[in-house]
Amino acid sequence: MLLCEAKTITVGVSKKCSTIQQALLLASKGDSIVVSSGNYHEKNMIVKKQITLIGIDYPVLDGEYKYEIISIKASGTIIQGFKIIRSGISSMEDFAGIKIYECRDVIIRNNILENTFFGIYTQYGTNCTIEKNKLTASNSEEQQSGNGIHCWKSDSMRIIGNTITGHRDGIYFEFVTNSVIWRNDSEKNLRYGLHFMFSSNDSYIGNIFKNNGAGVSVMFSHDVKMIHNYFEENWGDGSYGILLKEISDGYIENNRFVKNTVGIYLEGTSRIKMSANVFEKNGWAMKIQASCMDITVTGNNFINNTFDMATNGSLVLNTFNGNYWDKYEGYDLNKDHIGDVPYRPVSMYSVIIEKNPPAMMLFRSFMTTLLDKTEKVLPSITPENFKDAFPLMKPLSL
């Protein structure tokens, strides 16, 4: 039996095919379609065969705010080099610039997506790669904006080197497993830079999450690794570098939290290891609710934060040892670079503010300083066992 050789079909004004839809009809499995630069208004393009769709000089695919632009329904499809704009917007349907339907081994790379409802959407995708795309939206309300990169009920996804701005959530995972989010830049999104729901055995590594509405949220998940990320300027009431809610068995290592309202907020969280992170110039470096247990915080730097720690209860089932705290005023008589007296990172005033937020008005007053100094000598309302027994005298080189 002879196998047919794959062919290349060109699309353009002076080419054999003047529309992409025509080329899709002519193409066979394994063919390549090369699209010349220009503007293409072709409603919804449905890819039902395994093809490679390549744009030259970023041809524009315009959905006119009416349609989903590219629908992929064939495994092994590759889409690259297009400018995709103005997808349909609907409260009933999840229109996207590019949408993957129950496929595997799809690659979407080096595309520009502007003012799409959802940018790149995957449902029931397996082993797909979304790489080096630039996604930008300009809606000011969450209900008029979808997510930049949205993955639902998918497995072994690779989200690499994308830039996402102005969407509801920059990257959204729901029921996604065994996947990696690596070296993405998610900034100025309306809600979260990254949002996890019911997604486990995933990693996000080397990403930047800056100036998003509420930072990053990881909820109802387990075995998530958070490594070498940068969280900056996620400011506002209810805004965090990372919000962890009902998650377990995770790693938070070598991250940097700078100028966030709260660096990390933990609620209902267990068995999390935090090490080699830097918390700098945050309102609160960390808020750990009393519902958390088996959190291990060791080998981190806490520098120039308004408050190092806050909690809402007296029961502490977590471990804080071997960290550097710039507010530590102890001594090191034996010169082993470890403080001779424990450091208590929960100040009395942070406890007061947790219960009475308007009391923040009196922060930095002489009376506040006096109360905190007294509490360190004679602890009364701060948790007795919330302490770092081996505080470092110098910051770690992280």
| Residue 29 · residue 52 · CB < 8 Å | no
pLDDT digits (tens), the chain, 398 positions: 445 677 899 998 888 899 999 999 999 999 999 999 999 999 999 999 999 999 999 999 999 999 999 999 999 999 999 999 999 998 788 999 999 999 999 999 999 999 999 999 999 999 999 999 999 998 777 777 899 999 999 999 999 999 999 999 999 999 999 999 999 999 999 999 999 999 999 999 999 999 999 999 999 999 999 999 999 999 888 899 999 999 999 999 999 999 999 999 999 999 999 999 999 999 999 999 989 999 999 999 999 998 999 888 777 789 999 999 999 988 989 889 999 999 988 865 555 556 666 655 555 555 556 655 555 555 555 567 789 999 999 999 98
Give Cα separations from 236 to 97, 130, 227 (angstroms). 31, 31, 24
CA distance 291 to 271: 12
| Residue 307 · residue 327 · CB < 8 Å | no
254: helix, strand or coil? coil
Task: Using CB atoms within 10 Å of the CB of residue 295, give its burial: 0 to 12 exposed, 13 to 18 middle, 19+ buried.
Answer: buried
Q: Which structure tokens are listed for 286?
A: 């960390």
Give Cα separations from 163 to 121, 122, 187, 207 (angstroms). 15, 17, 8, 10
| Residue 386 · residue 346 · CB < 8 Å | yes
